[in-house]
């Protein structure tokens, strides 16, 4: 019997005012990771208090102004997630700020419950660590916003992935539900967008999660733009982009470890795939964005 209903939130299910998504750790059923998506009409604003969570103001579409304390930050943002990476702002715990947008836009606020107050920091686009991962029909484009970057965080790890239509991503399956020298416990959120086809149809993607030792979970879900899957444990992957429809997902990860490190274990049955990815070449459709690609 499927666990889809326990771990899948449909687009609009967690809407709260101007937040088209308001996923708190309590709603996810865990301790650390959260995600809000703010949808601002032109000229609108929203006051936000970080409370016991650190977070990013990460534009998905459009730019914004963030006023915090006596400082004002102009976040250029981007036209859309399919063609550009973005600059962003790191906001520490116990901070109240206002986001406004002259032309309107959509802004992700990935977050984690945190203990230590790190410095408020504007992060320019050229600090984003971008890479191409995999080959052949496992090729995808990865943008790391708080992994390997100069920005200092307490717990929150944020990355986004673009997978061309027909490709498999988040593959081979992996997990991060134990603390060891080679793995960290990380609660993970996947927030999806599916690029409409040229004829305007909206398409879909697929997400799989299956049990790891000591953890019962069974998710095999069709996902669409605005949907969210929460992954507290288990082997997860693949995330499959249906042929004809490119897939974007934003990952938010956090856990109890104090080192803010992404360490995972790949399912042993699939490790061999990473040796040469079947001898294939990098998908020529990538990179899709203006990112400067570095070696994985």
pLDDT in tens, 89-129: 999 999 999 999 999 999 999 999 999 999 999 999 999 99
What would the two tokens of residue 38 be?
A: 């703010």
- What's the CA gap between 251 and 212, in Å, rounded? 20
pLDDT in tens, 180-239: 999 999 999 999 999 999 999 999 999 999 999 999 999 999 999 999 999 999 999 999
Amino acid 50: pLDDT: 98
Region of residue 69 (phi > 0: left; psi between -120 and 50: alpha; otherwise: beta): left
Contact between residue 247 and residue 241 where contact means Cβ atoms under 8 Å apart? yes
Place of tokens 């666990």: 3
Amino acid 296: pLDDT: 63
SS3 271: helix
Q: Over pLDDT 70: what percentage of the chain? A: 99
Amino acid 223: pLDDT: 98
Mean pLDDT across 173-186: 97
- What's the CA gap between 184 and 129, in Å, rounded? 21
Q: Which of 47, 64, 69 is nearest to 104 (CA)?
A: 64
- What's the CA gap between 94 and 43, in Å, rounded? 26
Contact between residue 189 and residue 29 where contact means Cβ atoms under 8 Å apart? no
SS3 67: strand
What would the two tokens of residue 196 be?
A: 């409409």
pLDDT in tens, 44-74: 999 999 999 999 999 999 999 999 999 999 9
Amino acid 277: pLDDT: 84
Query: Which DSSP symbol is given to 16?
Result: B
Res. 279: pLDDT tops 90: no
The answer to whether the Cα torsion of 273, 275, 279, 283 is positive or negative is: positive
Confidence category of residue 1, pLDDT binned at 50, 70, 90: low
SS3 202: coil
What would the two tokens of residue 228 be?
A: 């969210």
Residues of the chain by 3-state class (helix, strand, coil), percent to 5: 10, 45, 50
Q: Which of 41, 24, 42, 21 is nearest to 33 (CA)?
A: 24
How many angstroms separate the first and last alpha carbons of the chain? 38
């Amino acid at each position: 019997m499927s666990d889809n209903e326990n771990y899948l939130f449909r687009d609009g299910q967690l809407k709260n005012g101007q937040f088209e998504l308001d996923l708190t750790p309590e709603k996810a059923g865990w301790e650390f990771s959260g995600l809000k998506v703010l949808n601002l009409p032109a000229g609108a604003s929203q006051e936000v208090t970080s409370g016991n969570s650190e977070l990013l103001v990460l534009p998905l579409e459009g730019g914004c102004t963030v006023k915090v304390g006596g400082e004002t930050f102009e976040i250029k943002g981007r036209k859309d997630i399919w063609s550009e990476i973005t600059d962003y702002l790191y906001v520490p715990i116990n901070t109240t700020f206002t986001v406004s947008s002259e032309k309107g836009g959509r802004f992700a606020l990935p977050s984690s419950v945190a203990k230590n107050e790190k410095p408020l920091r504007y992060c320019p686009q050229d600090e984003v660590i971008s890479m191409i991962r995999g080959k052949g029909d496992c090729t995808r484009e990865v943008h790391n916003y708080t992994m390997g970057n100069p920005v200092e965080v307490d717990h929150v790890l944020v990355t986004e992935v673009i997978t061309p239509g027909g490709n498999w991503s988040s593959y081979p399956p992996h997990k991060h539900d134990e603390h060891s020298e080679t793995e960290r416990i990380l609660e993970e959120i996947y927030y999806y967008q599916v690029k409409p086809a040229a004829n305007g149809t909206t398409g879909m993607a697929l997400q799989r999660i299956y049990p790891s030792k000591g953890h019962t979970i069974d998710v095999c879900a069709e996902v669409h733009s605005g949907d969210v899957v929460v992954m507290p444990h288990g082997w997860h992957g693949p995330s499959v982009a249906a042929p004809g429809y490119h897939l974007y997902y934003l990952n938010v990860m956090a856990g109890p470890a104090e080192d803010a490190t992404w360490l995972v274990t790949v399912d042993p049955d699939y490790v061999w795939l990473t040796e040469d990815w079947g001898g294939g070449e990098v998908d020529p459709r990538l990179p899709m964005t203006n990112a400067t690609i570095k070696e994985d």
